[in-house]
Structure 1
Amino acid sequence: MSTGIPFPPLSPELFSISLFGMDFALRWYALAYIAGILIAWRLAVVAVRRSTLWPESTPPMAPARVEDFLTWIILGVILGGRLGFALFYEPGYYLSNPLQILKIWQGGMSFHGGMIGVTLAALVYCLRNALPLLSTADLMALATPPGLLLGRMANFVNAELWGRPTTLPWGVIFPGDAAQACGQAVGQLCARHPSQLYEAALEGLLLGAVLLWLAFRSEALRRPGLLTGVFGLGYGLARFSVEFVRQPDAQFVTPGNPLGLAWQLGGQGLTMGQILSLPMILLGVVLIIRARRAR
């Protein structure tokens, strides 16, 4: 496994400064969140300003309301992503150490948990302000892929969430003892799938391009729920597929379960990421069928 592309000399920190005896750093991952939120905000504003895109030429909200709505979404992302990670991936540890859940700066966020948090936050906001649920969901779906693209690229810069060992020519030799523990011969390096970049391409670039085309070059937004369904189906399929080459979380890997399957039967099974993606795929199909059948 010695053949592969050496990991580039990247630092997780964009820059750091020392003030009053304390170190402050801007990390690429934090910058990805900030940039993703700003892009989502601008995309949403552009979409709601074009009233002809929406049913009966009526956007789900006024441009001035987008900022207020975005505040709720940010809270949903952070709270849902952190709680989802604690409950889905390391429930034993966090139930024994509940205060550790608050330490989000130590890392550990779940997309599926963030999705649940965003859904609940948007549901409450829509009900409080009498906004159309499905059209608001379509607006969120349109604005999400840029953040996914930047977030996965930040995962690559951080040399985290890498894939399984591979002998393919584009395998990356990630640094660190954990990444290099592939069971290879002594003296050889371990190359792994750059699964972060696979997800960035599928969930960010490809899915984002499809949603932009549907929103601005077809009449998809006139069918409430259609863009939301395409997003759920597209993200679910992309994540489900990449899980086949993505290294599972360490807590799922045991000597008797080297593939880190969260559910298995007869030697076959699914990872936690695949299990959590199945409801998104199912919901996406249901919403697409419903939207296409509706007048």
Structure 2
Amino acid sequence: MNYRTPLALLLASALLGACSDKTAPASADVAADVAADVPASAADVAPSGHVPPPAATAPKTDEMNTPQARKREAGMMRAVFGDDYRSDSDDALADLSDPDNHVDKLSYVVSAVSHKLLPDGRAILVANAETANTEGTAESAHASSGLLNVFFLAPKGQPEDGQWQVVKRLENIAALGSSGQLGEVHWVMLGANKPGLAIRHGYTGQGYTITQLALFEIGDGKVTALDGGIDLYSDNMGACTPDMDECWMVAGSWRFAPARNGGSYDDLLIDFKGASEKIKPNVTVKPDQDPPRIATPLNGHARYAFDGKGYKLVEGKNTVPGV
């Protein structure tokens, strides 16, 4: 028979407390949904359209995975890193600012993650950096974050030449994700004429998984963090042994919508679907039999609005258990 470890007990206690600060004033159209029928299991209620937790290496979108896009991205990397770019491994071994002390420089392996062509011909390159060892290869532990780098580029020569020059370098401006990878990058519009990045990042360890959404506004040569950790998904399926008291899985699908208050920044809306299961009390089972569980829906909606500095929960509830 399996027994819960002290770590699992500690995490389970932390999960219950983590939900307490995610409740906002109630609203009729964003109140949490409660399903009429109790779901059979937590796994049964995961929405079919939700994106699974980010992989260790964030996949490129179809748009970024075409031969033309990869060739363009390689040209951008050469413009940024010059001779430090390694075409055989499609990365660069370069000295970048230390994220803890931007005066110092450290050695990193830098890989392109995504890029965006702007209407005026300029471009923005997003790259991931992870610490390099003395052999020039990436050396990231499972708990190591990826480092966000953003480079602003302008065409050099004729547009058809595919040559670029660096206008602005923003090195190691945020630490996100795990296994040395910052996560999945999505280009979004935060409002009219307000381009931004939404990065899904997360971590899996000891059977627990958490995925969050980080939001950044992209200005003229600058990137501003608006929120680094809005919970989107969590589960403890990897730790859900027969004697684990509570098991859960909750996933959120997100989108932007015009601001309710008429502000220039759109609101962020998240729909949650999921459930938790607790062992039914006062039931005796055989040693080789799984205990019966009582399932409770964790469905709901949440609305986040920009308050002048970042995105804050203003209506509904984020039902994702913290890890």
TM over 0.5: no
TM class by smaller structure: under 0.3
- By percentage of residues, which structure has more helix? 1
- By percentage of residues, which structure has more strand? 2
TM-score normalised to the size of structure 1?
A: 0.26
In our comparison, the structure showing a higher alpha carbon Rg is: 2
